[in-house]
């Protein structure tokens, strides 16, 4: 992040595919007025540049000229480091020293002044070369030991030895103690010592004298000797990237250490002068003193190629660079201005990148302006846009007015054709299930869905849904893009032994429309074969529950109605009795009888829920069989098995309550568990170990309890599932009966069907009971309301968890009663209800033992099976009695109802104050959202 960018003065590219590192560049004047840049690459090229800059009259800068490259030389070895000093004995001139991996060479630069215009001739002459026994890492030059007018050489090798050379002669070799990775090494002339940052992340100094005296021999081979001791050491706590010692006017010396996260400035006695925490990753740095007043300046280049200029810790300038440098330094150059005067330009930045881009630049005030890319702007035809806007406004207005948007799916059907086919041939089921009946193999049925798209669709999801206890092998299938005809196969089988409410299989296809990208949903329903769930068995003679259907056509033989079972067992061509047994039906048999002389059918079974499926199947099949006969009716005239419905509701509700209780218990136990955990944690965290005081046992116990609760929960869930199926069956049966009674208008029936859902779902807060109760009470208050009360305003119905189901039961019976009577008429059509007089006292739920001696009032005449006249079993209670009860309950229900509007009065009085102008003081919230410069703002 910087406001300005560095300005280019001069740049050059050093070779192709050569690599450079921090030590590959050196600036020195080597005897002349202006600085030379010496660059050595890892490929062995050594280049000497002497840049000169020409300012043209029009203000532009003439950069790199070919003559600026003084020498280019290819050395046989890679160049690791370049330095310069008085390295040749008897000469006060500066010589270049070049570090190779296995040697260090000293060259002198010889310049022959050219007579012609094309300039001087320069070459490098090798003065001497020392071979190294160990791979070198870096070298340091300096007047070690306080010599005057001479510079000595010290080479640090990769394994931590320091080899000292006094110009042409080798002096000694020393091991650095505690060495692992080589760190930067500098010589501090004031204290005549060496400073390095060790692998221990300490900055340590060693006196030259100590180093020199520590060894016994001066042999290059042996490096034995006493362990050298440090003069001082400072713990910087991180690895150093570079260390530079800067001297101010021979009076003092500052050591600047660029760590990976901090910049340290140490005095030469080992105390910290200042440090700065860097909020970015530094690459390289260059500290220097500004001459007149000795201000310490530090140039740091960050990883994001920003050059930051600090004075001490204060940021003075930041500039964006165009290269990613590995080294930065300063130099003085010759500048020829427009009037051909030669001036020297001090403090030019010299940057060298990894790839060899050598750049000299200065800090200019040209802003590094970031231009936001312009947005696509198309010319707007105002007239047309205005028209479009008003049209859209209209659409929006109508849309917001009409709260329910009716989406037509006709368009969807044109886009894709979904056909569902159910294979009537069953296969043995390989999937795991929980029906454990001996010798029975559960069949499964293949359902294939074929999708024929008319346009390419994306994200098509096909779900095959059946109601439990049936399951599908794979419920949802996803096709990421649908282009051609494709089919999906799923297998349906029974998973649990429950009563089956329905054999419908629903296929729901949802996808994103190709145009516009809005979602579409398609529904398809198909029937599964009866054989999937039922087996043929011998008919049973006795049963507790009976359902009789009357028709107005002659009786059809059962083999015609159930052709798929012909040939199995005893269902012969003429038989008029058949038994069906469900898989996992616990042995109860549903018997279907066709009357011989009358036009009636009878279904009987020991359990009511089991009847549901076959009754609906029978009705369906009869309707199909007589589909050509006009005016075929199939009716049911007996009473509704309301008591069974209530008992099923009771069971379901009971299990729900129980599940809720266990859930609460589980919540408590887990809370307890966490509390114990916390206590244990506190104990373990304690410095002084304390006895656990049996907390571990408590933890274990609590864990066991949780496990026990979850097991219980699982059981309850199973029971709940079963009860849900049974409740669904009974509800469905009752709906079917209502329909068959033929007294109910279409409209009422559909209302009832919607209000009394036969699919039972239980959510955590709302169950079937709550939803149904709310729907039924709404019905009672609207379409089924008594008299002229329909006009009264609707109260809100709160969907709160139900505490007691008595009222709910009342609502059900009231609704069923009123519907069977016709919604808006008070007159009674129900003959049965009229015939029977309320004989019993009012009791909301008829208890067991009441129906001891009731007779089944509607018996198909001519049935070959005897009737079960008396039953002590409450399940076998006659429906007639229930009618009586229902009649008796009527007033109670009505009383219950009148209280409802009161409960709903809480709705706000909305009529007032509508037209009033709004208060001007109403507060608005406003505010710009946060500027979030991507949480890591330490990069800048």
Partner 1 sequence: MDQFYTALSLYRRRKYEECVAECTELLEKNPYDQAIWTLKMKALTEQVYVDDIEAEEEGIAEALMDTDTIAQVARPGTSLRTPGTAQGGSNQGLRPRTQTGRPLSGVVRPATQSGRPGTMEQALRTPRTARTARPVTSQSARSVRLGTASMLTESGGPFIQLSRLNMGKYAAQGIIAKPLFEYIFYHENDVRHALELAVQATQACQFKDWWWKVQLGKCYFTLGLVRDAEQQFRSALKQQQVVEIFLRLARVYIRVDQPLSALDVCKTGLQYFPGEVTLTTEIARLFEGLNNIPTSIKYYRDVLKEDATHVEAIACIGLQHFYTDQPEISLRFYRRLLQMGIYNAELFNNLGLCCFYAQQYDMTITCFEQALNLATDEAVADVWYNIAHVAIGVGDCNLGMQCLRLSLSADSNHAPAYNNLGVLEMRLGHAEEARAFFQAAGSLAPYLFEPHYNYAKLAEKMGDLQTSYIVIQKSLQAYPSHVDSKELLEKLQKHFAFI
DSSP state of 225: B
Tell me how far CA of residue 46 lies from CA of 332, 348, 356, 460, 519, in angstroms. 21, 22, 12, 66, 69
Q: How far is the CB of 933 from partner 1 (least distance, A)?
A: 5
Angle at 220 between CA 219 and CA 224, to 5 degrees: 70
| Interacting residue with partner 1 among 33, 227, 685, 825 (CB under 8 A) | 685
Q: Cα dihedral angle (930, 932, 938, 939), rounded to 10 degrees?
A: -150
Record the tokens describing residue 884, joined without a space: 């009586």
Integer Rg of the chain from CA: 49
Q: How far is the CB of 94 from partner 1 (least distance, A)?
A: 26
Record the tokens describing residue 601, joined without a space: 């059918």
Q: Segment 198-237, which members bind partner 1 (CB under 8 A)?
A: 198-201, 235, 237
What mask, x for binding partner 1 by CB under 8 A, covers residues 118 to 157?
A: -----------------x-x--------------------
Is 243 or 479 the residue whose CB approaches partner 1 more closely? 243
Q: Is 918 in the site for partner 1 (CB under 8 A)?
A: yes
> Given the rule CB under 8 A, which of 484-492, 548-556, 613-621, 679-687 is the region that contacts partner 1?
679-687
Q: How far apart are CA 79 and CA 24, in angstroms?
A: 7
Q: How far is the CB of 913 from partner 1 (least distance, A)?
A: 5
User: Is residue 760 classed exposed, middle or buried when 0-12, 13-18 and 19+ CB atoms within 10 A define those classes?
Assistant: buried
Phi, psi of 416 (to 5 degrees): -145, 140
Q: How far apart are CA 874 and CA 885, in angstroms?
A: 15
- Decide: 416 and 457 in contact? Cβ < 8 Å: yes
> Given the rule CB under 8 A, which of 27-35, 680-688, 758-766, 879-887 is the region that contacts partner 1?
680-688
**Per-position b or e across 872-891, b if 16+ CB within 10 A of its CB:** eebbbbbbbbbbbbbbbbbe
**Per-position b or e across 629-640, b if 16+ CB within 10 A of its CB:** eeeeebebbbbb
DSSP state of 484: S
Q: Segment 14-73, which members bind partner 1 (CB under 8 A)?
A: 19, 21-22, 42
Is 826 or 922 the residue whose CB approaches partner 1 more closely? 922
Is 425 or 912 the residue whose CB approaches partner 1 more closely? 912
Is 148 or 910 the residue whose CB approaches partner 1 more closely? 910
CA 905 to chain CA centroid, Å, is: 45
Angle at 241 between CA 238 and CA 245, to 5 degrees: 105
| Interacting residue with partner 1 among 32, 633, 677, 745 (CB under 8 A) | 677
Helix axes 642-685, 806-821, angle to 10 degrees: 150
Total residues binding partner 1 (CB under 8 A): 88
Q: Is 908 in the site for partner 1 (CB under 8 A)?
A: yes
| Interacting residue with partner 1 among 62, 218, 224, 313 (CB under 8 A) | 313
Q: Is 794 in the site for partner 1 (CB under 8 A)?
A: no
Q: Segment 539-558, which members bind partner 1 (CB under 8 A)?
A: none
Q: How far is the CB of 190 from partner 1 (least distance, A)?
A: 24
| Interacting residue with partner 1 among 1, 126, 452, 570 (CB under 8 A) | 1
Q: Segment 285-304, which members bind partner 1 (CB under 8 A)?
A: 303
Strands 252-259 and 4-13: unpaired
Q: Segment 233-262, which members bind partner 1 (CB under 8 A)?
A: 235, 237, 239, 241, 260-262
Is 233 or 496 the residue whose CB approaches partner 1 more closely? 233
Residue 116 makes CB contacts below 8 A (sequence gap 6+) with: none
Runs of H (alpha helix) within 378-506? 382-401, 410-415
Is 242 or 499 the residue whose CB approaches partner 1 more closely? 242
Q: How far is the CB of 390 from partner 1 (least distance, A)?
A: 11
Is 263 or 738 the residue whose CB approaches partner 1 more closely? 263
CA 51 to chain CA centroid, Å, is: 57
Is 2 or 813 the residue whose CB approaches partner 1 more closely? 2
Q: How far apart are CA 463 and CA 466, in angstroms?
A: 10
Which residues make beta-bridge pairs with 240?
259
Q: Is 181 in the site for partner 1 (CB under 8 A)?
A: yes
Q: How far is the CB of 396 from partner 1 (least distance, A)?
A: 7
Is 368 or 823 the residue whose CB approaches partner 1 more closely? 368
| Interacting residue with partner 1 among 78, 287, 585, 767 (CB under 8 A) | 78
Record the tokens describing residue 717, joined without a space: 């869930």
Q: Is 277 in the site for partner 1 (CB under 8 A)?
A: yes
> Given the rule CB under 8 A, which of 148-156, 421-429, 681-689, 698-706 is the region that contacts partner 1?
681-689
Q: Segment 353-412, which members bind partner 1 (CB under 8 A)?
A: 354, 367-370, 372, 375, 393, 396
| Interacting residue with partner 1 among 326, 420, 561, 814 (CB under 8 A) | 326
Q: How far apart are CA 192 and CA 937, in angstroms?
A: 42
What mask, x for binding partner 1 by CB under 8 A, covers residues 99 to 118?
A: --x-----------------
| Interacting residue with partner 1 among 114, 119, 178, 587 (CB under 8 A) | 178
Q: How many residues does the chain have?
A: 940
Scan for tokens 């001497």, then name that residue: 128
Give me the sign of the Cα torsion angle 268, 270, 274, 276: positive
Q: Is 909 in the site for partner 1 (CB under 8 A)?
A: yes
Bond into 427 cis (ω within 30): no
Q: How far is the CB of 292 from partner 1 (least distance, A)?
A: 24
Q: Is 938 in the site for partner 1 (CB under 8 A)?
A: yes
Q: How far is the CB of 303 from partner 1 (least distance, A)?
A: 7
> Given the rule CB under 8 A, which of 243-251, 414-422, 776-784, 924-932 is the region that contacts partner 1?
924-932
Q: Is 651 in the site for partner 1 (CB under 8 A)?
A: no
Is 226 or 678 the residue whose CB approaches partner 1 more closely? 678
What mask, x for binding partner 1 by CB under 8 A, covers residues 339 to 358?
A: ---------------x----
Q: Is 921 in the site for partner 1 (CB under 8 A)?
A: yes
Q: How far is the CB of 207 from partner 1 (least distance, A)?
A: 22
Sheet holding 152-157: strands in order across? 136-142, 152-157, 161-166, 169-175
> Given the rule CB under 8 A, which of 441-449, 478-486, 827-835, 920-928 is the region that contacts partner 1?
920-928
Q: How far apart are CA 901 and CA 904, in angstroms?
A: 5
Residue 816 makes CB contacts below 8 A (sequence gap 6+) with: 640, 642, 734, 738, 752, 886
What is residue 684's three-state secondary structure? helix
């Amino acid at each position: 992040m910087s406001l300005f960018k560095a300005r280019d003065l001069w740049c050059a590219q050093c070779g192709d595919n050569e690599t450079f590192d921090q030590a590959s560049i050196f600036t020195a004047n080597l005897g002349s007025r202006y600085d030379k840049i010496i660059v050595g690459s890892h490929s062995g090229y050594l280049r000497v540049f002497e840049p000169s800059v020409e300012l043209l009259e029009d203000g532009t800068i003439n950069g790199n000229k070919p003559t600026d490259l003084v020498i280019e030389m290819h050395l046989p070895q890679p160049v690791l480091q370049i330095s310069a000093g008085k390295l040749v004995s008897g000469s006060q001139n500066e010589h270049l020293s070049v570090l190779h991996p296995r040697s260090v060479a000293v060259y002198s630069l010889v310049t022959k002044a050219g007579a012609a215009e094309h300039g001087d001739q320069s070459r490098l002459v090798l003065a001497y070369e020392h071979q190294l026994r160990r791979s070198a890492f870096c070298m340091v030059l300096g007047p070690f030991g306080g010599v005057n007018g001479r510079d000595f050489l010290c080479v640090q090798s990769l394994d931590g030895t320091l080899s000292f050379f006094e110009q042409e002669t080798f002096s000694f070799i020393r091991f650095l103690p505690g060495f692992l990775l080589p760190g930067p090494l500098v010589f501090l002339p004031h204290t005549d010592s060496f400073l390095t940052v060790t692998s221990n992340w300490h900055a340590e100094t060693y006196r030259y004298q100590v180093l020199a005296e520590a060894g016994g021999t001066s042999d290059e081979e042996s490096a034995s000797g006493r362990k050298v001791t440090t003069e001082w050491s400072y713990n910087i706590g991180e690895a150093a990237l570079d260390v530079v010692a800067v001297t101010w006017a021979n009076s003092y010396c500052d050591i600047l250490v660029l760590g990976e996260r901090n910049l340290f400035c140490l005095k030469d006695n080992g105390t910290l002068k200042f440090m700065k925490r860097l909020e970015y990753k530094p690459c390289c740095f260059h500290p220097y003193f500004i001459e007149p007043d000795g201000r310490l300046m530090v140039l740091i280049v960050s990883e994001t190629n920003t050059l930051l200029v600090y004075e001490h810790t204060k940021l003075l300038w930041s500039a964006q660079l165009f290269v990613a440098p590995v080294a930065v330094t300063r130099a003085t150059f010759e500048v020829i201005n427009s009037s051909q005067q030669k001036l020297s330009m001090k403090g030019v930045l010299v940057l060298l990148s990894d790839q060899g881009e050598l750049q000299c630049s200065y800090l200019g005030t040209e802003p590094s302006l970031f231009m936001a890319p312009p947005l696509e702007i198309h010319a707007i035809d105002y007239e047309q846009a205005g028209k479009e806007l008003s049209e859209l406004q209209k659409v929006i207005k109508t849309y917001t007015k009409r709260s329910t948007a009716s989406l037509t799916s006709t368009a969807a059907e044109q886009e894709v054709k979904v056909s569902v086919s159910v294979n009537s041939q069953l296969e043995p089921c390989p999937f795991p299930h929980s029906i454990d009946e001996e010798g029975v193999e559960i069949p499964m049925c293949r359902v294939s869905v074929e999708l024929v798209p008319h346009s390419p669709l994306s994200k098509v999801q096909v779900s095959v849904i059946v109601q439990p206890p049936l399951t599908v092998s794979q419920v949802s299938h996803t096709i990421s893009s649908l282009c051609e005809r494709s089919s999906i196969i799923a297998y349906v089988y029974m998973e649990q032994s429950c009563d089956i409410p329905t054999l419908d299989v629903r296929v729901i296809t949802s996808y994103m429309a190709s145009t516009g990208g809005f979602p579409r949903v398609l529904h398809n329903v198909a029937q599964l074969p009866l054989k999937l769930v039922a087996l043929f068995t011998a008919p049973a003679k006795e049963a507790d529950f009976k359902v009789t259907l009357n028709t107005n056509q002659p009786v059809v033989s059962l083999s015609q109605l159930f052709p798929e079972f012909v040939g199995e067992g005893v269902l012969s061509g003429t038989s008029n009795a058949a038994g069906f047994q469900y898989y996992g039906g616990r042995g109860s048999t549903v018997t279907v009888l066709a009357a011989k002389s009358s036009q009636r059918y009878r279904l009987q079974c020991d359990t009511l829920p089991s009847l549901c499926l076959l009754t609906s199947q029978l009705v369906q099949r009869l309707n199909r069989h007589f589909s050509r006969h006009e005016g075929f009716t199939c009716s049911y005239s007996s009473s509704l098995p309301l008591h069974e419905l209530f008992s099923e509701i009771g069971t379901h509700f009971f299990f729900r309550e129980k599940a809720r209780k266990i859930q609460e218990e589980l919540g408590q136990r887990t809370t307890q568990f966490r509390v114990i955990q916390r206590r244990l944690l506190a104990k373990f965290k304690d410095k002084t170990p304390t006895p656990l005081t049996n907390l571990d046992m408590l933890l274990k116990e609590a864990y066991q309890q949780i496990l026990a609760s979850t097991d219980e929960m699982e059981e309850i869930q199973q029971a709940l599932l079963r009860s849900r199926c049974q409740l669904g069956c009974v509800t469905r049966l009752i709906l079917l009966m209502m329909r068959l009674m033929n007294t109910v208008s279409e409209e009422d029936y559909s209302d009832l069907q919607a209000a009394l859902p036969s699919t039972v779902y239980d959510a955590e807060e709302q169950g079937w009971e709550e939803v149904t109760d709310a729907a039924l009470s709404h019905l009672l208050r609207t379409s089924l309301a008594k008299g002229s009360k329909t006009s009264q305003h609707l109260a809100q119905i709160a969907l709160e968890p139900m505490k007691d189901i008595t009222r709910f039961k009342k609502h059900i019976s009231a609704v069923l009663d009123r519907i069977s009577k016709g919604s808006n008429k008070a007159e009674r059509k129900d003959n049965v209800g009229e015939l029977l007089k309320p004989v019993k006292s009012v009791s909301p739920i008829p208890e067991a033992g009441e129906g001891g001696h009731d007779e089944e009032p509607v018996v198909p005449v001519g049935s070959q099976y005897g009737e079960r006249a008396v039953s002590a079993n409450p399940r076998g209670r006659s429906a007639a009695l229930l009618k009586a009860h229902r009649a008796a309950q009527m007033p109670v229900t009505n009383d219950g109802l009148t209280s409802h509007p009161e409960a709903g009065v809480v709705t706000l009085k909305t009529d007032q104050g509508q037209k009033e102008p709004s208060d001007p003081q109403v507060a608005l919230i406003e505010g710009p959202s946060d500027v979030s410069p991507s949480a890591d703002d330490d990069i800048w």
